[in-house]
Each structure stands twice: as C-alpha cells, then as structure tokens.
C-alpha cells in the first residue's frame, strides 16, 4: 500500500561491478517525494539473472490507499557510465516504450537536468540521455532542509539504516577558482560511498524525463486525492505490490527528511 499522496513512481538504478542498486521513489503534488524502497541486487551485470531480477522489480504495481487503479513504475533511469555500457544500452533499448532510459551523468553549471533530445551511442546507435547531475543535486540537497510536509518535502521510511543516509549525503558542494571564474563542484571523500545519492539523482532525472513528455504531476496528484479512501471491505486489485522477500512491504511509518 502506497503512502497517501503518491501519484507517480520513478526508479533510479546504479550499476556496479558486482551488483545493481535501485531506489523506487513516489512523487506527489509539488514534487513531494517518498522513498518507497531501496534494493541491492547482488550479481554481475554481465549475468542475465541480475537483469531478470531488476525486470521483476520494475514490473511491480503499487496500490494507492484510495479507490484508484494500481500505479506502475512510470519511468526508469539506469546509469550507463561504467564498465557495462553496452549491456545497459541493450536492456534499455528493448524497453524504451516503457520509458526505461539509459543515462549518463555530466557535471557543469547550467547543464539541464534532462536533455532536449538523446545522444546516440557510438556502437549500435541506441539512445543515451545525458543528464545534468549538478543541478539535480542542488535541488535535492535544498529539499532536505524542508521541515514541513508539502511541496518539495522528502519522506524516508523509519527503518532505513544509517549507512544509507551516509551515502545519500556523502557529497558536499565545493568552490574553486579557475582563470578568474568560480567553479562549483560536488565532491565526496575517496573512501565514501554515494550509491544512494546516485540512485536518487537518477530517479529525479526520470521524473524530469516524464515532464518533458508532458507529465502534469500536480494534476495527477489532485485527481488521485479526489478519490475516496479505500474502505476495509473494498477489494484490493490483484496487481498490488508483492513484497520484496528481504525487505517486506512498505512501512507506513515515515520520518522527516531533514
């Protein structure tokens, strides 16, 4: 069962040499967000079984607490910048109709969060979306300081562990001067991990991709919130969420994003 207010779900996938990491994010009016789940899929990205597990996660349907149809994962961004670029491009190209997008992060002031059109991979010509990660991080970190639920507020499950939050906030904004011009850069310490932050950035980029296709998030959220709450006797659609075997169903307890 989803938290009340979630109208759209996106996912961000980080690709490592021995695993995939996935965050599923729910979005509501004013881009209020909920971290619905965070899953580590062990296994080499060279193995088909690893991607089959991801496919099952991306195919989930989530039940709103109101009398409305189950929600699918509407868009997905998967990092293609590592050692498995051809594999990622192939996986995404086969699922482009479901808005599963291969992305590559690029830093630099003024780079848009989502490109007007995709680039093309040198081999195979599959679409590749170059996203502006600096701007997305600016927005995300500013939202972490919001202390009242509503527009921009970030919700996290109460059971999420400290290591995950350390990864989510591993980077800091630094300024340096080059030829008389100030350059702002997001950096982390060499020993720190930041996969959780990367996944959130990719999930936010997926939302930007949907907006470029015409998504009106506030309108969808308003329609959903106009529906009556599901009563105890109302049937739950058969497409509702199947809990992840290790993490279980989504908790109904949420804590502040600051």
pLDDT tens figures, 70-101: 999 999 999 998 889 999 999 999 999 999 99
Residue 2 lies in a domain: no
Residue 258 lies in a domain: no
For residues 216 and 164, what is the distance between their CA atoms, to the nearest angstrom? 31
Residue 41 lies in a domain: yes
What stretches of the chain show up as alpha helix (H) in DSSP? 48-58, 85-93, 133-143, 162-168, 195-212, 217-226
* CATH code for the domain of 228: 3.30.420
94-123: pLDDT as tens digits: 999 999 999 999 888 789 999 999 988 776
Cβ atoms within 10 Å, residue 218 = 14
Residue 216 lies in a domain: yes
What stretches of 5-47 show up as alpha helix (H) in DSSP? none
**Residues 53-70, mean pLDDT to the nearest whole number:** 96
Provide the CA 114 distance to its chain's centre, in angstroms.
14
Residue 257 lies in a domain: no
Give me the number of domains the chain comprises: 1
Residue 99 lies in a domain: yes
Cβ atoms of 258 and 147 closer than 8 Å: yes
- Confidence class for position 242, pLDDT limits 50, 70, 90: very low
Structure token pair of residue 228? 């009556």
140-150: pLDDT as tens digits: 999 999 999 99
Instruction: Check the CA dihedral 56-246-241-217 and report its sign.
Output: negative
Residue with tokens 């919130």: 225
Residue 241 lies in a domain: no
- Confidence class for position 243, pLDDT limits 50, 70, 90: very low
The pTM for the full model equals 0.88
Structure token pair of residue 192? 């720190």
Pairing of strands 100-106, 127-132: parallel
- The whole domain housing 86 covers 8-232
């Amino acid at each position: 069962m989803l938290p009340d207010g979630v109208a759209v779900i996106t996912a961000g996938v980080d690709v490592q040499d021995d695993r995939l990491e996935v965050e599923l994010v729910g979005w509501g009016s004013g881009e209020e967000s909920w971290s619905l789940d965070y899953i580590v899929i062990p296994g080499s990205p060279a193995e088909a079984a690893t991607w089959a597990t991801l496919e099952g996660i991306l195919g989930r349907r989530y039940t709103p607490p109101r009398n409305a149809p189950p929600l699918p994962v509407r868009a997905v961004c998967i990092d293609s910048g590592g050692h498995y670029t051809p594999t990622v491009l192939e996986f995404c190209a086969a699922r482009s109709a479901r808005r599963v997008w291969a992305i590559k992060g690029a830093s630099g002031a003024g780079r848009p969060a989502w490109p007007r059109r995709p680039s093309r991979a040198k081999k195979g010509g599959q679409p590749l979306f170059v996203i502006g990660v600096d701007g997305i991080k600016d927005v995300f970190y500013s939202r972490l300081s919001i202390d009242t639920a509503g527009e921009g507020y970030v919700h996290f499950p109460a059971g999420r562990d400290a290591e995950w939050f350390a990864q989510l906030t591993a980077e800091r904004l630094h300024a340096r001067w080059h030829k008389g011009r100030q350059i702002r850069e997001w950096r982390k310490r060499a020993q720190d991990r930041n996969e959780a932050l990367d996944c959130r950035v990719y999930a936010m980029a997926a939302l930007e991709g949907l907006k470029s296709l015409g998504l009106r998030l506030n309108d969808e959220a308003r329609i959903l919130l106009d529906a009556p709450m599901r009563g105890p006797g109302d049937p739950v659609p058969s497409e509702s969420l199947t809990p992840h075997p290790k993490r279980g169903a989504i908790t109904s307890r949420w804590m502040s994003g600051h």
